[in-house]
Structure 1
Amino acid sequence: MVIKEKFNTSSALIFNAVTMNRFIIFRKARLFKTIFFLLFVISLFYFLIIDDSFVGLIFLFFSFFLIFFQIEYFFNLKLKYPKIKDSENIAELFNFDVARSFSTDTCKFLYNLLDDSDFTFVFSRLGIDIKEVRTLLKTTKDNDDIWTLLLGSLKESKARGGVRIKKNDVLIFASENHFILKEVFKAYDVSSDDVRNVFSWIYNMRKKEENKKKFWKWENLIKKGSLAKDWASGYTIMLDKFSINWTDYFKRNGFPDIIGHKKQIEETERVLAKSNINNVLLVGDPGVGRVCIIRALAKKMFYGTSLANLNYKRVIELDIPFLIANVDNNEELENILDHIFREVVNSGNTVLFINDIHNFLLGESKPGKVDISGVLANYLPLASFPIIGITDYTGYRNINNNSSVGSFFEKIDVFELSPADTIIFLQRQSINMEFKYRKIISYQAIKEIVACSERYIPEEPFPKKALDLLDEAMMYISQTNEKTLLPEHIRKIVSRKMNIPIGVMDTQEKDILMNLESLIHKRLINQESAVKEISSALRRSRSDISSYDKPIGSFLFIGPTGVGKTETAKALAEVYFKNVRNMIRIDMSEFQTLGDIERLIGSSSREGILTSQVKQKPFSLVLLDELEKAHSDVLNVFLQILDEGSVTDGLGQKVDFKNCIIIATSNAGSNLILEKDNMSGESLKLELLNYFFKESIFKPEFINRFSSVILFEPLSKEHLLDIAQLILNRIKNNLEEKGIEFEITEELKKEIVNIGYNPVFGAREIKRVIQDKVENTLADGLISGTIKKGSTVKIVGSNFELVLTN
Structure 2
Amino acid sequence: MFEKFTEGAIKVIMLSQEEARRMGHNFVGTEQLLLGVIGQRHGIGAKALKKLKVTLKKARKEIELYIGRGTGFVASEIPFTPRAKRVLEMAVHEGKDLGQNFVGTEHILLALIAESDGVAMRTLDKLGVDVHKLRNLIFSYIEETQEEILRPLTQAEKFLLERERKGSQTPTLDEFAENISKEAIDGNLDPVIGRQKEIDDVIAVLARRTKNNPVLIGEPGVGKTAVAEGLAQLILTEKVPDFLDGSLIMALDLGSILAGTKYRGEFEERLKRIVEEAQNDSAIIIVIDEIHTLVGAGAAEGAVDAANILKPALARGKFRCIGATTNDEYRKYIERDPALERRFQPVNVPEPSVGTTIEILRGLRSKFERHHTLSYHDDAIEQAAILSSKYIADRFLPDKAIDVLDESGARVRLENRRLPIGLRSLMHELQNAIRDKEDAVKRHDFGSAKQFLDHEMEVRTHMRIMKQSSLTEEMRGISRRDLDMVLENDVANVVSNWTGIPVTKISGSESERLLKMEEILHERIIGQEDAVIAVSKAIRRARVGLRNPNRPIASFIFAGPTGVGKTELTKALSDYMFGSEESMIRLDMSEYMEKHTVAKLIGSPPGYVGYNEGGQLTEAVRSQPYSVVLLDEVEKAHPDVFNLLLQILDDGRLTDSKGRLIDFTNTLIVMTTNLGSKVIERESGIKPKSQQEGSGLKLTTNEGIFGWEPAPEVAQDSKIREKVKKLVNDELKNFFRPEFLNRIDEIIVFSHLTRRDLWEICDLMIKSLIARLKDKEINLIVRKPVQALLTDEGYDPLYGARPLRRAIMHYLEDELAEKCLSQTLYPRTRIIVDRKTLADKKNEIKEMNPESSVELYKRNISANNDSINVQSISDITSITNSSINLTNLNTMSDTMSRNNVGGGMELSIENLTYQSDLNDYRDSETYTNELKIEIDFSAVDQKLLNVEVEEKQVEDNNAKTILIAGVPIVVEKLRGLIEASNKEEDESDDITEEDNITEPLASEEEAKEEEPETDTPKTEESKPKRNRFALIKKIGAAIFGTLNRFR
Paired residue secondary structure (1:427): helix
Asked if the contact 2:551–2:665 (Cα under 8 Å) also holds between the matched residues in 1, the reply is: yes
Q: What amino acid sits opposite 1:803 in the alignment? A: K
User: Equivalent residue for 1:100?
Assistant: none
Detail structure 1 runs of 4+ shifted over 6 Å in the superposition. Answer: 31-35, 111-114, 127-131, 209-213, 226-234, 363-367, 600-604
User: Equivalent residue for 2:833?
Assistant: 793
Q: Note the alpha carbon deviations across 1:16-35, whole angstroms, 9 max, x for none.
A: xxxxxxxxxxxxxxx79979
Asked if the contact 1:459–1:654 (Cα under 8 Å) also holds between the matched residues in 2, the reply is: no
2:600 matches 1:596? yes
Deviation at 1:611, TM superposition (A): 4.6
Deviation at 1:400, TM superposition (A): 0.8
Q: Note the alpha carbon deviations across 1:114-158, whole angstroms, 9 max, x for none.
A: 9342422459x9x99888644555489xxxxxxxxxxxxxxxxxx
Q: What amino acid sits opposite 2:598 in the alignment? A: L
Task: Select the residue among 918, 931, 934 that pairs with 1:802.
Answer: 931
Q: Quick one: structure 1 residues 346 and 673, their matched pair in 2 at CA, closer, same or farther if it must change by over 3 Å? A: farther
Q: What amino acid sits opposite 1:776 in the alignment? A: D
Greater Cα shift, 722-731 or 705-714: 722-731
User: Equivalent residue for 1:562?
Assistant: 563
Higher relative contact order (CA 8 A, sep 6+): 1
Q: Note the alpha carbon deviations across 1:634-665, whole angstroms, 9 max, x for none.
A: 44554444444455556666554444433222
| Whole-angstrom distance in 2 between the partners of 1:730 and 1:323 | 66
Task: Select the residue among 337, 344, 362 that pairs with 1:427.
Answer: 362
2:377 matches 1:442? yes
User: Equivalent residue for 1:623?
Assistant: 630
Deviation at 1:256, TM superposition (A): 5.4
| Whole-angstrom distance in 1 between the partners of 2:518 and 2:317 | 71
| Whole-angstrom distance in 2 between the partners of 1:250 and 1:782 | 75
Q: Quick one: structure 1 residues 607 and 742, their matched pair in 2 at CA, closer, same or farther if it must change by over 3 Å? A: same
2:823 matches 1:782? no
Q: What amino acid sits opposite 1:474 in the alignment? A: G
Q: What amino acid sits opposite 1:337 in the alignment? A: L
Unaligned runs of 5+ in 1: 1-30, 36-110, 141-166, 168-202
| Whole-angstrom distance in 1 between the partners of 2:605 and 2:725 | 31
Task: Select the residue among 302, 310, 323 that pairs with 1:389.
Answer: 323
| Whole-angstrom distance in 1 between the partners of 2:310 and 2:585 | 49
Greater Cα shift, 518-527 or 245-254: 245-254
Paired residue secondary structure (1:405): helix
User: Equivalent residue for 1:237?
Assistant: 171
Deviation at 1:237, TM superposition (A): 3.3
| Whole-angstrom distance in 2 between the partners of 1:712 and 1:364 | 67
User: Equivalent residue for 2:134?
Assistant: none
Q: Note the alpha carbon deviations across 1:327-350, whole angstroms, 9 max, x for none.
A: 136643234323333433343333
Asked if the contact 1:588–1:627 (Cα under 8 Å) also holds between the matched residues in 2, the reply is: yes
| Whole-angstrom distance in 1 between the partners of 2:614 and 2:58 | 53
Alignment of structure 1 residues 674-753 onto 2, 5 Å = 674-677=681-684, 680-695=720-735, 697=736, 699-734=737-772, 738-745=778-785, 747-749=788-790, 751-753=792-794
Q: Note the alpha carbon deviations across 1:236-284, whole angstroms, 9 max, x for none.
A: 3333322222223323447754312222222222222222332222111
User: Equivalent residue for 1:405?
Assistant: 340
Task: Select the residue among 180, 194, 198 that pairs with 1:246.
Answer: 180
User: Equivalent residue for 1:94?
Assistant: none
Deviation at 1:460, TM superposition (A): 2.5
User: Equivalent residue for 1:579?
Assistant: 580
Asked if the contact 1:681–1:711 (Cα under 8 Å) also holds between the matched residues in 2, the reply is: no
| Whole-angstrom distance in 2 between the partners of 1:251 and 1:504 | 41
Q: Quick one: structure 1 residues 373 and 591, their matched pair in 2 at CA, closer, same or farther if it must change by over 3 Å? A: farther
Paired residue secondary structure (1:444): helix
Q: Note the alpha carbon deviations across 1:663-704, whole angstroms, 9 max, x for none.
A: 222234444544554683344334334433433x3x333333
Deviation at 1:467, TM superposition (A): 1.8
| Whole-angstrom distance in 2 between the partners of 1:787 and 1:228 | 89
Task: Select the residue among 652, 655, 669 that pairs with 1:662.
Answer: 669
Deviation at 1:414, TM superposition (A): 0.4
| Whole-angstrom distance in 1 between the partners of 2:300 and 2:614 | 24
Asked if the contact 2:393–2:625 (Cα under 8 Å) also holds between the matched residues in 1, the reply is: no
TM-score (structure 1 length as normaliser): 0.67
User: Equivalent residue for 1:146?
Assistant: none
TM-score (structure 2 length as normaliser): 0.53
2:351 matches 1:416? yes
| Whole-angstrom distance in 2 between the partners of 1:329 and 1:674 | 84
Q: Quick one: structure 1 residues 802 and 454, their matched pair in 2 at CA, closer, same or farther if it must change by over 3 Å? A: same
Paired residue secondary structure (1:680): helix
Q: What amino acid sits opposite 1:351 in the alignment? A: I
Paired residue secondary structure (2:324): strand
Alignment of structure 1 residues 125-140 onto 2, 5 Å = 133-138=61-66
User: Equivalent residue for 2:805?
Assistant: 767
Q: Note the alpha carbon deviations across 1:219-251, whole angstroms, 9 max, x for none.
A: 4x7523378899999943333322222223323
| Whole-angstrom distance in 2 between the partners of 1:437 and 1:786 | 58
Deviation at 1:288, TM superposition (A): 0.9
Unaligned runs of 5+ in 2: 6-29, 47-54, 69-108, 110-137, 417-481, 686-718, 837-881, 884-927, 936-1047
Deviation at 1:393, TM superposition (A): 1.2
2:295 matches 1:358? no
| Whole-angstrom distance in 2 between the partners of 1:211 and 1:416 | 37
Q: Quick one: structure 1 residues 419 and 630, their matched pair in 2 at CA, closer, same or farther if it must change by over 3 Å? A: same
Asked if the contact 1:233–1:347 (Cα under 8 Å) also holds between the matched residues in 2, the reply is: no
Q: Compare CA radii of gyration and give the structure with the larger one.
A: 2
Greater Cα shift, 298-307 or 315-324: 298-307
Paired residue secondary structure (1:556): strand
2:227 matches 1:293? yes
Q: Quick one: structure 1 residues 597 and 675, their matched pair in 2 at CA, closer, same or farther if it must change by over 3 Å? A: same
Deviation at 1:711, TM superposition (A): 1.1
Q: What amino acid sits opposite 2:800 in the alignment? A: G
Q: Note the alpha carbon deviations across 1:174-194, whole angstroms, 9 max, x for none.
A: xxxxxxxxxxxxxxxxxxxxx
Asked if the contact 1:557–1:710 (Cα under 8 Å) also holds between the matched residues in 2, the reply is: yes
Deviation at 1:581, TM superposition (A): 2.4
Greater Cα shift, 263-272 or 600-609: 600-609
Q: What amino acid sits opposite 1:714 in the alignment? A: H
Deviation at 1:390, TM superposition (A): 0.8
Q: Quick one: structure 1 residues 211 and 264, their matched pair in 2 at CA, closer, same or farther if it must change by over 3 Å? A: farther
Q: Note the alpha carbon deviations across 1:272-310, whole angstroms, 9 max, x for none.
A: 222233222211112211112112333445565434444
Deviation at 1:710, TM superposition (A): 0.8
Q: Note the alpha carbon deviations across 1:587-609, whole angstroms, 9 max, x for none.
A: 33334523213349999844554
Q: Quick one: structure 1 residues 782 and 258, their matched pair in 2 at CA, closer, same or farther if it must change by over 3 Å? A: closer
Greater Cα shift, 344-353 or 537-546: 537-546
